[in-house]
Structure 1
């Protein structure tokens, strides 16, 4: 019996254009993504590097104005359909499940989200969850198994009573290896508002 639901954020609630940052960076002259750059990104996403140092790395390496870098970095973020928030609020109000957010989200992105959505919308979203876990605040990132173990342990959750919803297969596979039930939601095919339609075990 499912008692807990852990949701991802990007392409679950807020829409993403996953290629937008690459395209924006290419326009700034960065056409190759190296292993070092990916490593820096992962460090930043886990909160092991400050925003200032993250921007400075790309600024010094490519001589790109910092404001342009920030704009390119946030280009991935799109809109947050209100019907998804309403669905989440209704789910939270039912008190049938313990709800958690678990997202690979960095400092620059969450600040953009807060500014874009506005304080009321953002707080309404955040307050629907019992815990709101962002990778840069807990120093873990998906798909590392430790991030799921952390959430289970911190909240005394049983894996077999927990459903994890994410758009990336590598993340759901990792969670599933620990015995967590998963829904690999496919953007532009599935929608989080179809949670009960697509997951009969919740009924």
Structure 2
């Protein structure tokens, strides 16, 4: 007896199995903590810090830092050099110009007060040239051509005296604000040079 072979026709359907849908993990609810400050407070602090920074930048840009060369003294927007040596009037003016400055031009009572107090231990300065000259008899002129104002002048009593004294000195030992004296241009005195302070 011969063995029989039985064939069976098997058909597979090309179907993917039904997807298994898993549920999304449940989110944990954040723990509720009582709020210690209002929500707008960090914004307010940030805004205030920003305004402070802007104000500082504006102030620094407008004013800047004022610097003077070594050995010069600063007052307001100017630098002042008090000489250690003596020269005549023309040499004093020329020396200041050579340093990129000029003999001092006094514009205010505050500046006069500042300069009247300038003394050093090493050099005794009795008289110092300032930048006021008599161009013609009775016509005084500042070195930078600033108009001369007699009501803002600080002459000693009985000064300026008439004659050939067409340069001006500040008599430092005077002890008060009114210490200007006119002198002959060939007399040897110390000088005060003035230059604008450098703003950085």
TM range (shorter): under 0.3
Normalising by the residue count of structure 2, what TM-score does the alignment of the two structures yield? 0.26
Normalising by the residue count of structure 1, what TM-score does the alignment of the two structures yield? 0.26
Higher share in strand: 2
Higher share in helix: 1
